[in-house]
Amino acid sequence: MSPSYNAGFGNEFQSEALPDALPKGRNSPQRCPYDLYAEQLSGSAFTAPRTHNLRTWLYRIRPSVVHTPFVPIPAPNVVRSFSVATDDGECISTPNQLRWSPFEIPTNGKVNFIEGLNTVCGAGDVSSHSGLAVMIYTANADMENTAFYNSDGDFLIVPQEGRLEIQTELGVISAEPKEIVVIPRGIKYSVKLVDGKARGYILETFDRHWELPDLGPIGANGLANPRDFLYPTAAFEDKDGAEYKIITKYQSRFFAVTQNHSPFDVVAWHGNYSPFKYDLRNFNCINTVSFDHPDPSIYTVLTVKSGNPGTALADFVIFPPRWMVAENTFRPPWYHRNCMSEFMGLISGAYDAKAEGFVPGGASLHSMMSAHGPDAVTFERESTKQLGPEKLREDGLAFMFESYLTLSLSKWALDKDTAGGRALQPNYYQCWQPLVKKFNGLDLTKH
């Protein structure tokens, strides 16, 4: 049976898997209905302003505290520190433009969603709640009797291949390519692969939480509309006996505990701190109807704000199918040097600024102030073609993680022989080399 959802970004919801499981008139009565335990999950400080205060009350069969002590477990391809101060550090600094071919999905042995996490780049420090990390996930097995929660930050998950069934404490979320899922800090979940294999992208943010961008002169509607964000409804497991492993990412290290009951035993919940999903096909594009290529900020789906107004810790931006009608205009993105870092991925189809090499399941990184833009083939085509209204790439869906932070690269991402698929393209820079001098101005030195 398909999961059911509540709708509306950031709303207060209440959900019961059994009738009258939620206490009436109070959050923590002396005895909860059905003899459940009350447990509050806080996603913000108690004293955060009401507009940013996040918490959910869970009514569960056992409290989360019933487990064995934490023990460290290996996570070899998840970066622990983004410092590049020492030669033997985990990360490398480079301003080079980088591009990766599709990351290979494992074929030898079983690799589940958590085991298949690989850090590509990042910045900041999880212990001070500052910064972010970009990851790739590749998996070929379900998480069996295993759950995960992230103590360090929120995961924004972008499936590229393979459907996911995500069982969370608050209910079940199904996700397919062209949808995204956000799992906030601290919420436990387990991932099943509906198609037997999966690949995608993750943006982990250590500070604050995702918000809808301000619309300003756009007005009250447009871009990602709040009604299209879907939140799970209560669905619980009452299972005892089997050993369940609970893994947490804590200060970028992995730890595990065991317990003899399912972690998904929440019978009812109410609050505003919950995982959610969004279908990118519902995005309402804003675009020019006159001339010039607008700034890509008009394609922002979600944002994590920084302390500097108008400058994001992270923006999640998409480039979906859309009509292009700009007159006397070079329509692809212009050549650009940016004070922001831009990590891009391709979910399906092709991208309008690259004729080849940037393909679904791959990625690119254009770091702060590193020049980038259309390849030579695209420039020649788009500079000379006859302009008219056109629907841009009806099968194409690209996205960008953008941040004001300077990102450091993991050794895994820069290894040409990495087990992740020998994905790094060492000759990416060559796509711009055929751009030749076209200047036809008068040579004044002859006069």
Q: Annotated catalytic residue: which of 342, 380, 382, 394?
A: 342
* Paired tokens of 192: 């099943």
Tell me the C-alpha distance between 181 and 150, whole Å: 14
Q: Annotated catalytic residue: which of 372, 380, 382, 402?
A: 372
In one letter, which amino acid is 396? G
Element (H, E) at 411: helix 411-414
372 is catalytic: yes
End-to-end CA distance of the chain: 81
Q: Annotated catalytic residue: which of 104, 176, 336, 380?
A: 336
- Going 234 to 240 to 245 to 247, the CA torsion angle's sign is positive
Q: Is 437 exposed, middle or buried (0-12, 13-18, 19+ CB in 10 A)?
A: exposed
Tell me the C-alpha distance between 359 and 275, whole Å: 29
Q: Annotated catalytic residue: which of 169, 270, 366, 402?
A: 366
Question: What b/e sequence results for 364-389 when a residue is b if at least 16 CB atoms lie within 10 Å of its CB, and e otherwise?
Answer: bbbbbebebbbbeebbeebeeeeeee
366 is catalytic: yes
342 is catalytic: yes
Q: Annotated catalytic residue: which of 104, 129, 176, 293?
A: 293
Distances (CA, A) of 341 to 368, 401, 404: 5, 8, 6
- Residues annotated as catalytic (active site), given as ranges: 293, 336, 342, 366, 372
